[in-house]
C-alpha cells in the first residue's frame, strides 16, 4: 500500500501517515496530556513527542536546560495562585520567587521558559513563564487552570456501560440461536422416529387379544 510519494529523495506522506518512510500512522492521542500536545514544547511524531531543545520526558514536561526547572517552582505557583499543594500556609517562607498573576502567558513567553504542569489536587493543567535570568526568579502564572471536562468522563462511562450491554445482548442472541437449532434437531429426530415406527398386533409385544377361550373338562360334547 502506497503511503506517500518520493520527491527529491524525501518521502511526502499521504494524510494520516508520517515518519521518514511514511511507516507510522499520524496518531496524536498518545502525545496529549490534559488537552495539551507535548506540553506545548514539541511535535507529535508516530505517537511520540519529539521535544524542542532543553526539553525531555514523555510529554516534554522536563526542562533540561533550566537551572532549577519548572518542577522546582511548581508547588510555589500552586500555593500562591491556586492555594493548593503542600506549601499552603508557608508560601512566603518556602518560595524565593516573585509570582505575578496574569490572564495568559502567551504575551510573556519571550521572557523565559514556558512551564505546563499538572495540579495533583484536581488533575488540572496550569501554565506559567519562568524567568531565572536575574538574582530573584520571576514567574508569570495564568490565573485560570485548564481542567478536564466532566462531560468527557461521563461519555466514557456511558460508552463502557453501553458496550457491556451490547456484549450481553449479543451473547444472549447467540445462546438463543444455538438453543433454537438444537430444538429443531431434536424435533426432526422425533419426527423421523415416528415415521419409521410400524407396529402391528403380531409384532407389538404389549398387544393382547380382547377375548380368551377356556376348555370345560366336564363337558362331553353331547347335545
pLDDT of residue 101: 93
Q: Where are the domains of the chain?
A: 4-60, 63-142
pLDDT digits 0-9 by tens, 28-79: 888 887 677 887 778 888 888 888 887 778 888 776 666 567 888 999 999 9
pLDDT of residue 37: 84
Taking residues 214-221, what's their average pLDDT?
64
134 pLDDT band (50/70/90 cuts)? low
| DSSP codes, 151-181 | HHHHHHHHHHHHHHHHHHHHHHHHHHHHHHH
Q: Are 43 and 63 in contact (CB under 8 A)?
A: no
**Class of domain 4-60 (CATH, top level):** mainly beta
pLDDT of residue 3: 74
Q: What percent of the chain has pLDDT over 70?
A: 79
Tell how many helices (H) and how many strands (E) occur in the chain: 3, 14
Taking residues 161-167, what's their average pLDDT?
88
Contacts of 220 (CB under 8 A, 6+ apart): none
Given 2.60.120.430, 3.30.70.240, 3.40.50.300, 4.10.1240.30, which CATH number is that of 63-142? 4.10.1240.30
Considering the entire predicted model, what is its pTM?
0.41
Identify the residue whose cell numbers are 516573585: 98
Q: 214: exposed, middle or buried (C-beta count within 10 Å: 0-12, 13-18, 19+)?
A: exposed
Phi, psi for 180 (deg, rounded to 5): -65, -45
Identify the residue whose cell numbers are 510519494: 5
pLDDT of residue 201: 46
Which is more confident, 24 or 16? 24
Closest to 71 measured CA to CA, from 59, 83, 89: 59
Closest to 112 measured CA to CA, from 138, 135, 136: 138
195 pLDDT band (50/70/90 cuts)? confident
Amino acid at each position: 500500500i502506497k503511503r506517500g510519494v518520493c520527491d527529491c529523495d524525501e518521502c511526502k506522506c499521504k494524510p494520516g501517515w508520517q515518519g521518514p518512510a511514511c511507516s507510522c500512522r499520524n496518531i496524536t492521542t498518545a502525545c496529549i496530556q490534559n488537552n495539551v500536545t507535548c506540553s506545548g514544547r514539541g511535535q507529535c511524531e508516530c505517537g511520540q513527542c519529539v521535544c524542542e531543545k532543553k526539553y525531555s520526558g514523555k510529554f516534554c514536561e522536563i526542562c533540561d536546560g533550566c537551572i532549577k526547572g519548572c518542577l522546582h517552582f511548581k508547588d510555589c505557583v500552586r500555593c500562591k495562585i491556586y492555594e493548593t499543594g503542600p506549601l499552603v500556609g508557608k508560601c512566603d517562607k518556602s518560595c524565593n520567587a516573585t509570582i505575578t498573576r496574569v490572564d495568559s502567558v502567551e504575551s510573556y513567553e519571550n521572557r523565559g521558559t514556558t512551564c505546563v504542569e499538572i495540579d495533583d489536587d484536581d488533575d488540572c493543567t496550569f501554565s506559567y513563564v519562568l524567568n531565572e535570568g536575574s538574582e530573584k526568579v520571576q514567574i508569570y502564572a495564568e490565573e485560570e487552570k485548564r481542567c478536564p471536562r466532566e462531560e468527557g468522563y461521563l461519555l466514557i462511562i456511558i460508552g463502557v456501560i453501553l458496550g457491556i450491554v451490547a456484549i450481553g445482548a449479543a451473547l444472549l442472541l447467540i445462546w438463543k440461536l444455538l438453543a433454537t437449532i438444537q430444538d429443531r434437531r431434536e424435533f426432526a429426530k422425533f419426527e423421523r422416529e415416528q415415521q419409521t415406527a410400524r407396529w402391528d398386533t403380531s409384532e407389538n409385544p404389549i398387544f393382547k387379544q380382547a377375548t380368551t377361550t377356556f376348555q370345560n373338562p366336564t363337558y362331553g360334547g353331547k347335545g
